[in-house]
Chains A and B, each alone.
Chain A
Amino acid sequence: MVAKPREQNLEFEAAERNLSPGMANQAWGLEDSATDFKETELTLGPPGESRDAGGKSGTKRGFCETLDLNLTGSNAKRNDPGAQSQQEACPTAKHPAAKAKLVGWPPVRALRKNAMRSDGCNYVKVAVDGAPYLRKVDLEMYSSYKHLSEALEDMFSCFTIRNYFNAGKLMDPVDGSEYVLAYEDRDGDWMMVGDIPWQIFARSCKRIRLMKSSETVDIEPITPPK
Chain B
Amino acid sequence: MNKVVSPKSTAKSIVMRNTFPEEVLEHVLSFIDSHSDRNSVSLVCKAWHETDRWCRRRLFIGNCYSVSPAIVIRRFRDIRSLAIKGKPHFADYNWVPEGWGAHAYPWIAALAEAYPALEELRLKRMVVSDEALELIGKKFQNFRVLVLCCCEGFSTDGLAYIAANCRNLRVLDLFECEVDDMGGNWIGHFPDSYTSLESLNVSCINSELRFSALERLLCRCPNMKALRVNCTVPLDKLAILLEKAPRLMDLGTGLFMTELRPEVYKRLAVAFSRCKEIRSLSGLWDVAPSYLPVVYPICPMLTSLNLSYATIRCPDLIKLLTHCQNLQRLWVLDFIEDRGLEVLAASCKDLQELRVFPSEPYNQEPNISLTEQGLVSVAVGCPKLQSVLYFCRQMTNAALFTIARNRPNLTRFRLCLIEPRSADWQTHGPLDDGFGAIVEHCKDLKRLSLSGLISDTVFEYIGTHAKKLEMLSLAFSGGSDLGLHYVLSGCESLRKLEIRDCPFGDRALVLNAAKLETMRSLWMSSCRVSYRACKLLGQKMPRLNVEVIDERGPPESRSDECPVENLYIYRTVAGPRLDSPGFVWTVNENWAMRSPSL
Contact of B245 with A by CB under 8 A: no
B94, A110: Cβ atoms closer than 8 Å: yes
Whole-angstrom distance between the Cβ of B173 and the nearest chain A Cβ: 15
Whole-angstrom distance between the Cβ of A133 and the nearest chain B Cβ: 5
Contact of B460 with A by CB under 8 A: yes
| B23-31, B49-57, B558-566 - interface stretch | B558-566
Whole-angstrom distance between the Cβ of A55 and the nearest chain B Cβ: 7
- Measured in the bound complex, the distance between the Cα atoms of B509 and A69 in whole Å is 13
Contact of B33 with A by CB under 8 A: no
Task: Encode contact with B along A22-38: 1 for CB under 8 Å, 0 otherwise.
Answer: 00110110100000000
- Measured in the bound complex, the distance between the Cα atoms of B94 and A125 in whole Å is 11
Contact of B376 with A by CB under 8 A: no
Residues of A within 8 A of B551 (CB): 47, 133
B206, A16: Cβ atoms closer than 8 Å: no
Q: B489 touches which one: A5, A30, A47, A102 (CB < 8 A)?
A: A5
Contact of B436 with A by CB under 8 A: yes
Contact of A1 with B by CB under 8 A: yes
Contact of B137 with A by CB under 8 A: no
Which of A1, A16, A28, A118: most chain B Cβ within 10 A? Answer: A28
Residues of A within 8 A of B360 (CB): 116
Which of A25, A67, A76, A105: most chain B Cβ within 10 A? Answer: A105
B98, A49: Cβ atoms closer than 8 Å: no
Q: A76 touches which one: B176, B475, B481, B490 (CB < 8 A)?
A: B481
Residues of B within 8 A of A49 (CB): 553
B507, A108: Cβ atoms closer than 8 Å: no
Contact of A132 with B by CB under 8 A: yes
> For chain A residues 110-138, which have a beta carbon within 8 Å of chain B?
110-113, 115-116, 118, 120-121, 125, 132-136
B507, A11: Cβ atoms closer than 8 Å: yes
- Measured in the bound complex, the distance between the Cα atoms of B360 and A141 in whole Å is 11
A134, B423: Cβ atoms closer than 8 Å: no
Q: B480 touches which one: A76, A93, A118, A133 (CB < 8 A)?
A: A76
Chain B residue with the shortest CB-CB distance to A68: B561
B421, A24: Cβ atoms closer than 8 Å: yes
Whole-angstrom distance between the Cβ of B523 and the nearest chain A Cβ: 13
Chain B residue with the shortest CB-CB distance to A127: B98
Contact of B105 with A by CB under 8 A: no
> For chain B residues 44-70, which have a beta carbon within 8 Å of chain A?
none
Chain B residue with the shortest CB-CB distance to A58: B552
Contact of B493 with A by CB under 8 A: no
Report if A115-B528 is in contact (Cβ < 8 Å); known contacts: A21-B453, A25-B421, A49-B553: no
Report if A112-B421 is in contact (Cβ < 8 Å); known contacts: A16-B482, A141-B362: no
Contact of A17 with B by CB under 8 A: yes
Contact of B88 with A by CB under 8 A: no
B476, A133: Cβ atoms closer than 8 Å: no
Report if A106-B358 is in contact (Cβ < 8 Å); known contacts: A2-B461, A133-B97, A136-B98: yes
Chain A residue with the shortest CB-CB distance to B554: A48
Contact of A109 with B by CB under 8 A: yes
Residues of A within 8 A of B557 (CB): 48, 55
> For chain B residues 356-409, which have a beta carbon within 8 Å of chain A?
357-362, 364, 391
Whole-angstrom distance between the Cβ of B152 and the nearest chain A Cβ: 10
Report if A108-B98 is in contact (Cβ < 8 Å); known contacts: A3-B464, A76-B480: no
B93, A108: Cβ atoms closer than 8 Å: yes
Contact of A217 with B by CB under 8 A: no
B479, A19: Cβ atoms closer than 8 Å: yes
Chain A residue with the shortest CB-CB distance to B360: A116
A16, B506: Cβ atoms closer than 8 Å: no
Q: A47 touches which one: B440, B553, B562 (CB < 8 A)?
A: B553
B361, A5: Cβ atoms closer than 8 Å: no
- Measured in the bound complex, the distance between the Cα atoms of B363 and A99 in whole Å is 11
- Measured in the bound complex, the distance between the Cα atoms of B47 and A65 in whole Å is 56
Whole-angstrom distance between the Cβ of A140 and the nearest chain B Cβ: 9
Residues of B within 8 A of A107 (CB): 90, 92-93, 416, 475
Task: Encode contact with B along A47-61: 1 for CB under 8 Å, 0 otherwise.
Answer: 111100001111011
A104, B95: Cβ atoms closer than 8 Å: yes
Contact of B486 with A by CB under 8 A: yes
Residues of B within 8 A of A17 (CB): 456-457, 479, 482
- Measured in the bound complex, the distance between the Cα atoms of B308 and A110 in whole Å is 14
Contact of B131 with A by CB under 8 A: no
Contact of A63 with B by CB under 8 A: yes
Contact of B510 with A by CB under 8 A: yes
A104, B286: Cβ atoms closer than 8 Å: no
Task: Encode contact with A along B556-589: 1 for CB under 8 Å, 0 otherwise.
Answer: 0111011101000000000000000111000000
Contact of B420 with A by CB under 8 A: yes
- Measured in the bound complex, the distance between the Cα atoms of B286 and A11 in whole Å is 57
Task: Encode contact with A along B405-419: 1 for CB under 8 Å, 0 otherwise.
Answer: 000000000001010
Contact of B259 with A by CB under 8 A: no
Contact of A214 with B by CB under 8 A: no
Contact of A167 with B by CB under 8 A: no
Chain A residue with the shortest CB-CB distance to B536: A71
Q: A1 touches which one: B362, B436, B554 (CB < 8 A)?
A: B436
Chain A residue with the shortest CB-CB distance to B432: A2
B421, A71: Cβ atoms closer than 8 Å: no
- Measured in the bound complex, the distance between the Cα atoms of B440 and A9 in whole Å is 23
Contact of A220 with B by CB under 8 A: no
> For chain B residues 454-471, which have a beta carbon within 8 Å of chain A?
455-457, 460-461, 463-464
Chain A residue with the shortest CB-CB distance to B505: A69
Whole-angstrom distance between the Cβ of A134 and the nearest chain B Cβ: 4
Interface, chain B (partner A; CB < 8 A) = 90, 92-95, 97-99, 150, 176, 178, 204, 206, 231, 285-286, 308-309, 357-362, 364, 391, 416, 418, 420-421, 423, 429-430, 436, 440, 453, 455-457, 460-461, 463-464, 475-476, 479-482, 485-486, 489-490, 501-503, 505-507, 510-511, 526, 528, 530, 532-533, 551-554, 557-559, 561-563, 565, 581-583, 598
Counting from the closest, the 9 A-B pairs by CB-CB distance are A48-B553, A132-B582, A16-B480, A134-B98, A19-B479, A107-B93, A12-B482, A57-B558, A28-B503
9 new A-B pairs (CB below 8 Å) besides A47-B552, A47-B553, A125-B98?
Answer: A9-B485, A17-B482, A28-B476, A65-B562, A71-B510, A110-B93, A115-B231, A132-B99, A133-B582
Can you pick out 23 interface pairs between chain A and chain B where the beta carbons lie within 8 Å of each other? A1-B440, A5-B463, A5-B464, A5-B489, A19-B456, A24-B421, A24-B453, A24-B503, A28-B476, A28-B503, A56-B559, A69-B563, A71-B507, A104-B95, A107-B93, A107-B475, A109-B92, A110-B178, A113-B361, A116-B309, A116-B359, A116-B360, A133-B581
Interface, chain A (partner B; CB < 8 A) = 1-3, 5-7, 9, 11-12, 16-17, 19, 21, 24-25, 27-28, 30, 46-50, 55-58, 60-61, 63, 65, 67, 69, 71, 76, 93, 99, 102, 104-113, 115-116, 118, 120-121, 125, 132-136, 141, 157-158
